[in-house]
Amino acid sequence: MTEKKLTPMMKQYLEIKAQNKNAILWFRLGDFYEMFGEDAIIASKILGITLTARGKGGDNEVPMCGVPYHAAEGYIAKLTKAGKNVAICEQLTTPALAGQSEKSIVERGVVRIITPGTTLNDAVLDERGNNYIVSIVPENYLRGNNEFDTPSQNFALAVCDVTTGEFGIVKVKRNKLNEELMRIQPAEIVLDEDSEIADIIYDGQINISYFSTIRGKRDVLINHFRVKNLEGFGLEKEELLTEAAGLLIEYLKETQKTNLSHINSLRTYSVDNSMTLDETTIRNLELIFTLRDSDREGSLLNVIDKTSTAMGARRLRNWLLRPLQDKECIEKRLNGVKEIFENVTLKSEIRNILKEVNDIERLLGKISLNSCAPRDIAALSQSLGKITHLKEWITETQSEVLQEINGGLSNHSELVAHIDSSLLDELPATLKDGGVIASGCNAEIDELREISRNVKNILVELATRESARTGIGSLKVKFNNVFGYYIEISNANKHLVPEDYIRKQTLVNAERYITPELKELEEKILGAEEKIILIERQLFEELRQRILQDTEAIQRTAYMVGCLDALTSFAIIAKERNYVCPEIIETENIDSDEQIVNALEIIDGRHPVIESLSFENSFVPNDTFLSEDENYIMLITGPNMAGKSTYLRQVALITLLAHIGSFVPARSARIPLTDRIFTRVGASDNLAKGQSTFMVEMQEAANILNNATKKSLIILDEIGRGTSTYDGVSIAWAILEYVHDQIKAKTLFATHYHELIAVADKLENACNWSVQVAEIDNNVQDQPEKKIVFLHKVLPGGVDRSYGIEVARLAGLPRDIINRANNIMETLEKGVVEKGIQNSLKRERVSDTQQDLFTPITHKQEVSKIPEHLERTHAALQNIDPMNMTPMEALAKLEELKKMQNE
């Protein structure tokens, strides 16, 4: 399509599109939003709408599709969910207002760009979670290069939830970048147009937007926050953080086309102030979503979230992903939960009030961004009106945290009264049709409404009055679409017409007149509805600005409501599920004569999720004791399905719950301050990155071994199972020793490698535990003589059986396979390989002449001599190709090895 053939409208479209290349442009044409070209092709596929063409069959044919403007929200939601940006281009003038002819092109412009991280659409947003947008600036950006391989390199992150006004900045190292992004879980990431860090970000699964900008963001922040300098934010000498914050503010202003008045504070936070939870731990412990279905139901969050408001739900989720690291802060929360827990009436009243409180944060966000409807402001007023009643109930509380909440809740009665007196009781969904402002607020609106309601009566009164004044009994006031309102007088009464009557039209038998009063009345009647809407919009805008004057107080109230709701949720779940208040232990900075054992001690602990499920009404509780002075490693053996993984996770979840200030599912619990919780659970791969199950397993193990400290809690479930038996048991053995000797962290190590029982027996601070199983007579024909019953009880001592075949039978494997498996098992159990491993494990772990796994060999050390029969066995094993052997050949080879061993 050549430019000279373009219509003025298409020229205008292309000019605006050129300025919004990274968004699908919604071009307003009358009652439709139209899309053209590539935008139309992309949008039609996502939205499932018909793709047509403009200028069909001609040289200027261009793909085209459109949606009705009144249904726009639903279609925009689909595009946003698909990760697309949508630029809304509106008609800014009409031909009449612009002094143009009807055929002249109207002025148009983009009024807002909707992106995944800036949407206000309720159909897209999760009301119980934040919708964060993040900008990232690497340290090297300031020096003009794009190398990011150094683990210690700093990255600055600016984090904002446009819907609530929350805005924060943080500095993290390269190796902590994705951990922080996992906790934030942003809907969109903004990068400088020249940035090359997209490939290192969070598996590349987040929507990334590039923004053209220039360096030097100090003035951007100063102008936005209306301050003289950045000292109040601690940024005067923090160039990297300043760049990230300024980049995000610039991007938000460019897309939202407003001043973002509700983003009025900037909080600097540190990842060191909370327990780091990496992606693996969040996933394995199923904190937010389940592993199997990525579903909220079945997660820890779903169990403990008894909040009544969206603000409380978001606050609780934030707490869950950022466990506290300060004993005083944890205990402050616990004391608040305890006070609500013990006061049944207080708990009930708080909950009842909060159920009537809407999402104050997001309502205020809509109002600030000028995207609010009349009902949004009414909902805000209704919610703020409950705060006074809420304060009455918590004013007399004693705990520090509840008193802080009470102090943070403002009295909004004056604003509430102003809103309530300004709006009608029954409000429309939008402002465009009027019917918003209450009677008594504006005299002109009252008059115009009275006219609109009583047009007929007003005209009758006018006719009666004029008839009496003129003495013309047949005088009538009429209306038609051509002449409007007029007074009609028959020719017989023309001599009685007053001088102030103005002739409008002459008929055969009558004359039509208008008067100044009738003309004024006509203008009021015909323009009443339009003028009412115009005045209402002006008054509505004044009301919106009045609300924004109290933005900071409303935001503080909303935050405190969220905190109170989250604490109340903890108290509710504690009462419903019989949770107890944990004792938090910190051994640092205590008096020397004070005896505190830094032990993790849980009596009758329970898994919070499993016990909440309907099919687990009789959960079997278990004890845990891990002490840095005695046994800090528990090696746990037992059959599949017996509950090893459940036990491991429940200890981790109880520890985590204590650190967020929640009561815990146990009879009693003493929880030491824990810097991190590490988990290596289950089998998974990452095919997108070309990583096998075993590679993923080893990477997760490496992360633990490289980052865990003595104050960490480590959960290892079936380490080494992703490779061959020999490799696996060797790796598991080495890791067990390394954790014991080098890290000395409290560790739960579940395994099916029963050979490790002997290893744990040799380790000074490790102990063997097992999940108990009962074998009982089956008394069923053609079935094994014994069947197993899982007791789900963890007790001291190891077990040397996995009962895998019994579990396979329970799963429904054919009986022939089960019988054959038992026969093969009997043969394999007589094999020399397992005996050789057992014999090796019986030797001393490390002696003066034995090589330590983690110490290099020197000329002063001697390697213990391998027995001759084992050398022969080893040599024979080297010549075996198991992948090309039949089962019978394998059994024959095993028999040969057995004879060799006994010679």
Distance, in Å, from the CA atom of 693 to the CA atom of 653, rounded to the nearest integer, reads 25
Distance, in Å, from the CA atom of 439 to the CA atom of 586, rounded to the nearest integer, reads 63
If we measure between CA atoms, which residue out of 282, 278, 272, 285 comes closest to residue 652? 285
> Do 866 and 829 contact (CB within 8 A), yes or no?
no
pLDDT for the residue numbered 851? 39
> Given a cut of 60, is residue 331 above it in pLDDT?
yes
Distance, in Å, from the CA atom of 301 to the CA atom of 386, rounded to the nearest integer, reads 27
Q: What is the pLDDT of residues 554-602, one digit of tens each?
A: 999 999 999 999 999 999 999 999 999 999 998 765 444 445 568 999 9
Other CB atoms within 10 Å distance of the CB of residue 191: 22
> Given a cut of 90, is residue 63 above it in pLDDT?
yes
Task: Say what percent of the chain tops pLDDT 90.
Answer: 55
Please state, rounded to an integer, the average pLDDT across all residues of the chain. Answer: 85
If we measure between CA atoms, which residue out of 342, 292, 277 comes closest to residue 656? 277
| Exposure on the CB side of residue 641, measured as CA atoms within 13 A | 13
Q: Which residues pair with 341 in a beta bridge?
A: none
Range with lowest mean pLDDT among 115-129, 420-434, 451-465, 873-887: 873-887
Ranked by mean pLDDT, which of 377-391, 460-474, 689-703 comes out on top?
377-391
> Given a cut of 70, is residue 336 above it in pLDDT?
yes
pLDDT for the residue numbered 859? 39
Structure-model confidence comparison of residues 890 and 815, the more confident one:
815
Question: What integer is the mean pLDDT of 517-538?
Answer: 87
Range with lowest mean pLDDT among 175-189, 679-693, 745-759: 679-693
> Given a cut of 70, is residue 499 above it in pLDDT?
yes
> Given a cut of 70, is residue 510 above it in pLDDT?
yes
**Confidence class for position 821, pLDDT limits 50, 70, 90:** confident
pLDDT for the residue numbered 685? 42
Question: What integer is the mean pLDDT of 828-856?
Answer: 48
3-class secondary-structure state, position 158? strand
> Do 550 and 380 contact (CB within 8 A), yes or no?
no
Q: What is the pLDDT of residues 596-609, one digit of tens each?
A: 568 999 999 999 99
pLDDT for the residue numbered 838? 54
Structure-model confidence comparison of residues 174 and 401, the more confident one:
401
Looking at residue 105, the DSSP 8-state letter turns out to be P
Task: Say what percent of the chain tops pLDDT 70.
Answer: 83
Range with lowest mean pLDDT among 131-135, 450-454, 631-635, 800-804: 800-804
Q: What is the pLDDT of residues 277-293, one digit of tens each?
A: 988 899 999 999 988 77
| Exposure on the CB side of residue 345, measured as CA atoms within 13 A | 3
CA separation (Å) from 349 to 338, 343, 358, 399, 576? Answer: 16, 10, 17, 17, 17
> Do 498 and 487 contact (CB within 8 A), yes or no?
no
If we measure between CA atoms, which residue out of 596, 656, 600 comes closest to residue 623? 600
Question: What integer is the mean pLDDT of 736-757?
Answer: 91
Looking at residue 686, the DSSP 8-state letter turns out to be B
Classify residue 23 as left (phi > 0), alpha (psi -120 to 50) or beta: beta
**Packing angle of the helix pair 455-470, 443-453 (nearest 10 deg):** 80
* CA dihedral angle for residue 177, residue 183, residue 185, residue 189, rounded to 10 degrees: -30
Structure tokens at 662: 């929640």
Range with lowest mean pLDDT among 314-323, 343-352, 825-834: 825-834
Q: What is the pLDDT of residues 692-742, one digit of tens each?
A: 677 888 888 888 999 999 999 999 998 877 666 778 888 888 899 999 999
**Packing angle of the helix pair 815-829, 887-902 (nearest 10 deg):** 20
Q: What is the pLDDT of residues 99-146, one digit of tens each?
A: 444 456 889 999 999 999 999 998 889 999 999 999 999 988 766 665
pLDDT for the residue numbered 849? 38
Write down the pTM of the prediction.
Answer: 0.83
If we measure between CA atoms, which residue out of 84, 37, 42, 86 comes closest to residue 63? 37
> Given a cut of 70, is residue 803 above it in pLDDT?
no
**Confidence class for position 861, pLDDT limits 50, 70, 90:** very low
Distance, in Å, from the CA atom of 870 to the CA atom of 791, rounded to the nearest integer, reads 40
Measured at the CA of 703, the angle between CA 700 and CA 706, to 5 degrees, comes to: 150
Range with lowest mean pLDDT among 169-183, 205-219, 254-268: 205-219
pLDDT for the residue numbered 791? 75
**Confidence class for position 871, pLDDT limits 50, 70, 90:** low
Structure tokens at 16: 């605006």
> Given a cut of 60, is residue 547 above it in pLDDT?
yes
